[in-house]
C-alpha cells in the first residue's frame, strides 16, 4: 500500500514539475532582462579567477529560476554558469542567447547536457571576442572619434559627449539584436555562421576600415615640423621642412607613428614608456631647435 502511495506521489510531483515548466515558457521580456543585466556589468564585474562569469551567472539567474522549478536544479544550473567565461561585451552577448536557448531545450527533455552548455560557451567566446574587438574597437570607435575630434578641437562640448552617447547606443542595439538572434537561431546556426566566409570578410573589412581611420587621425592630428634652416651662398636659405614636404608631405608625423608602432610590435604595449619617451624627445628636440 505504501509503495503504491509513494508511486502516486512521485507521479503527481513529476506531473506538477512538468506543468510548471510548460507554464514557465520564456518571453521576449525575459530574454531582454537577461541581456540588459549582462550588458550593464560585463566590463565592470570581472573576477581575477573567472572574469565575466559572475555577471553572466547573475544575468542568467531570472531565466534559471523560471525554467527550473526545483531548487536542486537551480543550484546545478547556477554552478554551470559560474565556470570561467570571458568575451567581448557587444558581440559576446550572442552566447547568452544561445545559452538561454539550450537551457530551455534542456527543460523540454532534449539531449542537452551540462557539458554541452559549458562547451558551447567556451567554444564561442574566443571567436566572438575577436569579431567584437575587430568591429567595435578597431572600426566603430576610431570612426566616432574621427568624426567628432574637429568639433572638440573647435571648443565644442559635443565633440567629447557625442562619441560616448553614440557608442553606447550602437553597442546597445548590436548586443540586444545578437542576444535575441542567438536565442532564436540556437547553437547550430551560430556555429555554421562562424564557420562560413562572411564572418571572415566582416572582420577583414572592419580591420581595413579601422586602419584607414587610424591613418586619417594620425595624418590630421599628429603635427611635427622642423624649424631648421641653413644659410647658402648669396644669402639664400635652405629650409629643411620645405625639402621634406617636397619629398613626402607629412614625412615627420609618419616616421613618428611608425616608430611607435615598431616599438609596440617589438616591446609590447608599454604605454607609459612610450608617453614618457615622446615627452622627453619633444622637450629635448624643442630646446635644441630641431623639431
pLDDT digits (tens, 9 = 90+) for 101-133: 888 888 888 778 888 888 888 888 888 887 888
> When comparing pLDDT for 185 and 196, which is higher?
185
User: Has residue 90 got a pLDDT over 50?
Assistant: yes
160 and 280 both lie in a single domain: no
> When comparing pLDDT for 245 and 191, which is higher?
245
- Cβ contacts of residue 140 below 8 Å, gap of 6+? 167, 170
Q: Phi/psi zone of residue 277: left (φ > 0), alpha (ψ -120 to 50 degrees), beta? A: alpha
Domain for residue 222, yes or no? no
> When comparing pLDDT for 194 and 45, which is higher?
45
250 and 209 both lie in a single domain: no
Single out the residue in 195, 213, 231 at which a domain terminates.
213
192 and 273 both lie in a single domain: no
Q: How many helices (H) and strands (E) does the chain have?
A: 12, 2
- Which among 113, 119, 59 is positioned nearest to 83, based on CA atoms? 119
> When comparing pLDDT for 233 and 240, which is higher?
240
Residue 110 to residue 94: CA distance in whole angstroms: 21
Q: Over the stretch 135-189, which tens digit does the pLDDT of each residue have?
A: 888 778 888 888 888 888 888 888 889 988 999 999 999 999 989 988 887 655 5
137 and 267 both lie in a single domain: no
> Confidence band (pLDDT; 50, 70, 90) for 198?
low
State the average pLDDT for the chain. 79
Domain for residue 158, yes or no? yes
Domain for residue 220, yes or no? no
User: Has residue 10 got a pLDDT over 60?
Assistant: no
What backbone phi and psi angles, to 5 degrees, belong to 86?
-160, 125
Which letter does DSSP use for residue 234 in this model? G
Domain for residue 247, yes or no? yes
Query: Mean pLDDT over residues 241-258, rounded?
Result: 79
Domain for residue 175, yes or no? yes
> Confidence band (pLDDT; 50, 70, 90) for 193?
low
Count: domains in the chain: 2
Q: Over the stretch 203-217, which tens digit does the pLDDT of each residue have?
A: 666 666 666 766 766
> Confidence band (pLDDT; 50, 70, 90) for 61?
very high
- Residue 195 is predicted with a pLDDT of 58
Domain for residue 81, yes or no? yes
Residue 250 to residue 287: CA distance in whole angstroms: 22
14 and 127 both lie in a single domain: yes
Expressed as residue numbers, the domain containing 161 is: 2-213
159 and 263 both lie in a single domain: no
Domain for residue 131, yes or no? yes
207 and 282 both lie in a single domain: no
102 and 20 both lie in a single domain: yes
- Residue 5 is predicted with a pLDDT of 44
Look at the block and give the residue holding cell 566566409: 197
73 and 198 both lie in a single domain: yes
Domain for residue 226, yes or no? no
57 and 113 both lie in a single domain: yes
93 and 189 both lie in a single domain: yes
104 and 246 both lie in a single domain: no
Amino acid at each position: 500500500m505504501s509503495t503504491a502511495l509513494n508511486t502516486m506521489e512521485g507521479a503527481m510531483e513529476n506531473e506538477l514539475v512538468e506543468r510548471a515548466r510548460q507554464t514557465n515558457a520564456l518571453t521576449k521580456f525575459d530574454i531582454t532582462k537577461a541581456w540588459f543585466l549582462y550588458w550593464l556589468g560585463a566590463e565592470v564585474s570581472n573576477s581575477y579567477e573567472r572574469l565575466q562569469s559572475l555577471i553572466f551567472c547573475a544575468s542568467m539567474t531570472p531565466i534559471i529560476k523560471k525554467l527550473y522549478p526545483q531548487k536542486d536544479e537551480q543550484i546545478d544550473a547556477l554552478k554551470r554558469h559560474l565556470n570561467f567565461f570571458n568575451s567581448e561585451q557587444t558581440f559576446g552577448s550572442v552566447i547568452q542567447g544561445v545559452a538561454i536557448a539550450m537551457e530551455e531545450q534542456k527543460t523540454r527533455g532534449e539531449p542537452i547536457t551540462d557539458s554541452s552548455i559549458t562547451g558551447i560557451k567556451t567554444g564561442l567566446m574566443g571567436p566572438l571576442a575577436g569579431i567584437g574587438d575587430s568591429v567595435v574597437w578597431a572600426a566603430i570607435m576610431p570612426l566616432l572619434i574621427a568624426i567628432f575630434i574637429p568639433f572638440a578641437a573647435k571648443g565644442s562640448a559635443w565633440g567629447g559627449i557625442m562619441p560616448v552617447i553614440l557608442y553606447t547606443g550602437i553597442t546597445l542595439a548590436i548586443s540586444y539584436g545578437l542576444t535575441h538572434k542567438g536565442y532564436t537561431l540556437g547553437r547550430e546556426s551560430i556555429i555554421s555562421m562562424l564557420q562560413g566566409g562572411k564572418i571572415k570578410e566582416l572582420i577583414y573589412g572592419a580591420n581595413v576600415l579601422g586602419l584607414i581611420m587610424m591613418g586619417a587621425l594620425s595624418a590630421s592630428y599628429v603635427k611635427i615640423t622642423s624649424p631648421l634652416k641653413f644659410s647658402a651662398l648669396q644669402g639664400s636659405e635652405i629650409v629643411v621642412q620645405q625639402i621634406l614636404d617636397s619629398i613626402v608631405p607629412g614625412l615627420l608625423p609618419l616616421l613618428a607613428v611608425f616608430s611607435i608602432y615598431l616599438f609596440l610590435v617589438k616591446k609590447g604595449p608599454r604605454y607609459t614608456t612610450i608617453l614618457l619617451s615622446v615627452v622627453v624627445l619633444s622637450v629635448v628636440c624643442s630646446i635644441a631647435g630641431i623639431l
